[in-house]
Amino acid sequence: MLKIAVLISGSGSNLKSLIDATNDPAYPVQIACVGADTDAAGLAYAEAAGIPNFIVRPADFASRADWGTAFAEAIRAHDVELVVSAGLMRILPANFVNEFSPALINTHPALLPLYPGAHAVRDALAAGATETGVTVHIIDEGVDTGPVLRQAAVQIAPGEIEADLHERIKQIERPLLAATIRAIAEGEIRLAEVAAAH
Ligand code: GAR
């Protein structure tokens, strides 16, 4: 069993799909804790599943680095082997990244390196793209610049609005994230080797 932490900021539908995946005893992953930076609605999924969860709010700290230290400590208390950012809408400070990376991954709603940042779906639409998708990657010190682990494409329908496109991306994203974590758990993806080759 690979023990993981899942980090969220919002609705937590990716978290919910991971919780559902772990209900299958053949899925080799245990969610040891869920962390958030705000009152994320998705914490209710952790609560309902009896998974330890916590909020560490940046506003309670003097600096981003201090927040990162406190967030990392809260995660470390659960002895996890992998930290998964699944809708954490905040850039992690360098001290946090250095502590966990390369065992620190993120899911992003675009085909990186296209459309990094907080508004990836909106940016793809604004660029007039006909295709976008989802990327699961290792977090490094840049913003959405770390080594790509898995990607899947989604075609954009003419006239499609952001909310509809994002929901269609998430339908691809949830199983891709679960499959990527499984591949890490089973040694098919070796994070240290991927990071070293980057
Ligand atoms: C996901 O689509 C994730 O890729 C995105 O937030 C959504 C969270 O959905 N993350 C980013 O945009 C990070 N830059 P969820 O809360 O329903 O899982």
Residue-level pLDDT at 124: 98
Using an 8 Å Cβ cutoff, are 126 and 119 in contact?
A: no
Does residue 170's CB lie within 6 angstroms of at least one atom of ligand 1? yes
Could you tell me the distance, in angstroms and rounded to a whole number, from the CA of residue 99 to the centre of ligand 1? 23
Residue-level pLDDT at 98: 98
Using CB atoms within 10 Å of the CB of residue 49, give its burial: 0 to 12 exposed, 13 to 18 middle, 19+ buried.
Answer: middle
Residue-level pLDDT at 111: 98
The protein residue whose alpha carbon is closest to atom 5 in ligand 1 is 87
Fold topology of 107-198: Rossmann fold (3.40.50)
Does residue 35's CB lie within 6 angstroms of at least one atom of ligand 1? no
Using an 8 Å Cβ cutoff, are 77 and 53 in contact?
A: no
Cα separation, 181 vs 62, whole angstroms = 34
Residue-level pLDDT at 157: 96
- Would you tell me how many other CB atoms lie within 10 Å of the CB of residue 27? 17
Kindly state the helix (H) or strand (E) to which residue 104 belongs, with its residue range: strand 104-108
**For the chain (length 198 residues), average pLDDT per consecutive 10?**
98 98 97 98 98 98 98 98 98 98 98 98 98 98 97 97 98 98 98 96
Joined together, the tokens standing for residue 12 give 């937590």
| Centroid of chain to Cα 41 | 16
Strand partners of residue 136: 107, 150
Task: Measure Cα distances from 29 to 82, 153, 158 in Å.
Answer: 10, 26, 39
Probe residue for ligand 1, chosen from 88, 108, 143, 164 as the CB with the greatest number of ligand atoms within 8 Å? 108
Does residue 118's CB lie within 6 angstroms of at least one atom of ligand 1? yes
Joined together, the tokens standing for residue 111 give 């085909």
Q: Which atom of ligand 1 is nearest to the CA of 15?
A: 18
Does residue 32's CB lie within 6 angstroms of at least one atom of ligand 1? no
The protein residue whose alpha carbon is closest to atom 9 in ligand 1 is 87
Using an 8 Å Cβ cutoff, are 102 and 138 in contact?
A: yes
Residue-level pLDDT at 72: 98
User: In which residue ranges of the chain is CATH 3.40.50.170 found?
Assistant: 1-100, 107-198
* CATH number belonging to domain 1-100: 3.40.50.170
Is residue 166 among the annotated active site residues? no
Joined together, the tokens standing for residue 106 give 């993120």
